[in-house]
Amino acid sequence: MLNKKIAEMLNDQVNKEFYSAYLYLDFANYYADEGLDGFAHWYEIQAQEERDHALMIRRYLLNNGERVTFGAIGGPDKKFANHLAPLEAGFEHEKYVTSLITEIYHEASAQKDYRTMQFLDWFIKEQGEEETTADDMVKKYKLFGYDAKGLYALNQELSARVYAPSATAPQK
Ligand code: FEO
């Protein structure tokens, strides 16, 4: 069993990760509608990764004898003014998720819950990578996205993303 507050924070994070998947699928919907299938594909894979994050935390809770409950997932409500907007929203969202993971880590540290800290180490690293990737997407778009050929090339590049399950991530 885990400390009650930590278990609640982790359970809440399961919901937040599913929301992230929902949000990125919403981005994919937007790009598909705009004819940018490479961008849509990239966010569809990102959504799969977010679902994996949710399932990893769910599994950690179950492995520690905790009951997992699912709350309602809110509908993404963003309207995008241009093709850059979802990329910027994605970067902001990842910074927000990092702050959530950091809060849980902080609580685990305060409770001397070294097992949860070790479990979250993977997420701390992952968030660093996700922020960098999201920032790179914004920068690349600003460099190349305003030119038709540049946008075409970027769309092609993003269409090559391959889903890789988070196989090395801890489950216990
Ligand atoms: Fe699960 Fe993009 O953080």
Q: What 3-state class would DSSP assign to 87?
A: helix
Burial class (CB in 10 A: 0-12, 13-18, 19+), 53: buried
Overall pTM > 0.85: yes
List pLDDT tens digits, range 108-164. Answer: 999 999 999 999 999 999 999 999 999 999 999 999 999 999 999 999 999 999 998
Please state, in angstroms and rounded to a whole number, the distance separating the CA atoms of residues 139 and 87: 9
CB 140 within 8 A of CB 154: yes
Tokens coding 145: 């996205």
Tell me the fold of 4-71+81-159.
Ferritin (1.20.1260)
* Residue list, ligand 1 pocket, CB within 6 Å: 17, 20, 50, 53, 94, 97, 130
Residue range 53-107, pLDDT digits in tens: 999 999 999 999 999 999 999 999 889 999 999 999 999 999 999 999 999 999 9
Q: Which atom of ligand 1 is nearest to the CA of 126?
A: 3
Place of tokens 């391959």: 162
Query: What are the domain boundaries of the chain?
Result: 4-71+81-159
Measured in Å, residue 161 CA sits from the centre of ligand 1 at 17
How much is the pLDDT for 168? 56
Q: Whose CA is nearest to atom 2 of ligand 1?
A: 94
